[in-house]
Amino acid sequence: MAAMQDQSQPTAPLAVLFEDAARPYGEDPLLGATADGRRYRGAFVIATREGRVLGTMIATADDDGRVSASEINAQLSALLAHEHKPPPSNGNAHDPKISVIICVTDGGLRADRAIESILGGGYANAEVVVVNNRPQNGPLPLATAADPRVKLVDQPQAGLSAARNCGARAASGEILLFTDDDVVAMPGLLAAAAGAFAEHPDASCVTGRILPLRLDTETQLQIERFAGFSKGFDQAVFELAGNEDDHTFPYAAGQFGSGAHIALTRAAFDAMGGFDEALGTGTPARGGEDTDLFIRLMLGGHKLVYEPSSAVLHDHPDQHEQLASTVFNYGVGTTAVAAKQLITGSNRLRLLRAIPAGLAIALSPSSAKNARKGDAFPLPLTLRELLGMALGPLMYLKSERARRARSIEQLSNDGKPFTPVFVCELELTQGIAAIESPPLEDGSRFTQADALVRRAGTPLGIATLELIDGQLAAPEIDAAIKSQLGEVLALEPARLPAADDAQAQADRMNLLTHVRCPPDAGEPRR
């Protein structure tokens, strides 16, 4: 037997066993069979102690479907001897509040299981924020919705990053832990994460172990190998300081953790601006939002801790088509992040130096990433990954363009697209004439004008005019000016500043500036 990352490639099905390292087997365990009657070929043993995960091992079954208790017990003893114990959590309301944020897109079919495992983990000061990312399909029918620790929010904008950012805005915890609805939390998940933050008070981020919930099919076993969830069982601390000479750091971000288990302090999340909504599942970029966040954290001088005793169980898809999609999406997300960092990153030279090593990791059969897959990993899947990597930069540009378009749209208070405004000046002493605005670049016409109204050169104010096909007749303009600026028009000319008065000229420029460049970009004129 050996840990998965070190052993010869097993075949499915493998029974997933949870064993308390402090309670050794008394006899060889019998594995049984899958739901469809297939006998397990071996066991994927998850060793725990007091709810914390210590390690894993693979045990091969004999012809009778039994695995060796003596071999398992020997490895359990070795794990206990090297156990890392983070500072214990008190398990009460004095612990830091942790908000667990889960995005749901399938109508809540799996979310209850995830929520129950989190709330039942023994960490008192916790809440779960569930983001319905398809609210147009109706409210989520969650059995857990009545629990006061569960908060439901809607995010109609598609995309995992947008949903997670929405959940973060609704969360009240000082620690934000992001996971998925297809996981089951190990009992010590939140306590171990809180303990890692307590052990490293200068850390901004804690990631943890992601283990398989089932390994009943070859597809699930291949996902376990491909996805690289196995980050080892030694605590690791990452920061830019001390790694300045390693040009691949922090771009080889897979070592830091995975998106199904990321905990950040509220301060760090806000400082990073959350997840990039041009990346992630549900966008053309298809992934990479976690990698991008890790890179930004590292380059921003933050410290990240990988704490393996904080663990979740991931329900790997069991269909080959889902694996093929996962592989392709991974490839797209990988190079989408690289493209973003090359275009907008804070250290492009460092990234350029890392590219040769990155290509070696992606293409070399002997790299740790590809060696993990094993010889049995289907070549068509590797080719799909490479195809995704080739398309990643283009998909990022497409996704970023869509993100910018959404940003412009969201600048409107009512969600309607931003409407351009025609800026003009009207001198009352010269009489009011009809307005005819020029066409826009796309051939459309202005629907609104902001007119700086003057009398004898003195600015009186700004009148907002609704245009029809880019035009407005003089009578309608006159009526709008009187309606909006009637009180100013009624003033005696002597009570208004002279046209050549310096302050009057300054006021005029201020008015023009206000019209052309609204001081609050979040509330543009429409």
Question: Tell me: the pLDDT tens digits for 209-251?
Answer: 999 999 999 999 988 888 766 677 889 999 999 888 887 899 8
Mean pLDDT throughout 383-408?
A: 90
- Tell me what the mean pLDDT of segment 174-185 comes to: 96
pLDDT at 517: 31
Give the model's pLDDT for residue 470. Answer: 87
Query: What pLDDT, on a 0 to 100 scale, did the predictor assign at position 510?
Result: 46
Please tell me the distance from the alpha carbon of residue 467 to that of residue 446, in angstroms, as a whole number: 7
DSSP 3-state of 102: strand
Over range 327-350, report the average pLDDT. 89
On the question of pLDDT at 294 being above 70, the answer is: yes
Q: Give residue 86's pLDDT band: very low, low, confident or very high (50, 70, 90).
A: low
Where do the DSSP E strands lie in 245-389? 262-265, 304-314
d(CA 430, CA 416): 37
Average of per-residue pLDDT across 138-144? 90
Query: Which of 93-97, 156-160, 370-374 has the weakest average pLDDT?
Result: 370-374
For the cut 50, the answer to whether the pLDDT of residue 34 exceeds it is yes
Confidence class for position 309, pLDDT limits 50, 70, 90: confident
How much is the pLDDT for 81?
78
Q: How confident is the model over 390-414, as a mean pLDDT?
A: 81
Asked if the model's pLDDT at residue 389 lies above 90, the reply is: yes
What is the pLDDT of the chain when averaged over all its residues?
84
Query: What is the pLDDT confidence band of residue 520, given thresholds at 50, 70 and 90?
Result: very low
Cα 381 to Cα 331: distance, rounded to the nearest angstrom: 11
| pLDDT at residue 476 is higher than 80 | yes
The reported pLDDT for the residue numbered 522 is 32
Q: Where would I find the beta strands (DSSP E) of 346-490?
A: 422-427, 435-436, 448-455, 458-466, 471-472
Element (DSSP H or E) covering residue 54: strand 52-60
- 209/223 Cα distance (integer angstroms): 15
* Domains detected in the chain: 14-81 (no CATH), 98-316 (3.90.550.10), 422-516 (no CATH)
Residue pair 244/363 in contact by the 8 Å Cβ criterion: no
CA distance 32 to 63: 12
Give the Cα separation of 180 and 209 in Å (integer).
14
CA atoms of 198 and 397, how far apart (whole Å): 40
Residue scoring higher pLDDT (78 or 1): 78
The per-residue pLDDT for 509 is 43
Determine contact, residues 465/425, Cβ cutoff 8 Å.
Answer: no
Q: 3-state class of 461 per DSSP?
A: strand
CB 306 within 8 A of CB 239: no
CA distances from 75 to 45, 105, 250 (A): 10, 40, 33
pLDDT at 459 over 50: yes
pLDDT above 70 (res 32) = yes
Highest mean pLDDT among 60-74, 445-459, 486-500: 60-74
So what's the pLDDT on residue 305?
97
Instruction: Name the amino acid, one letter, at 412.
Output: S
Residue 87 has pLDDT above 70, yes or no: no
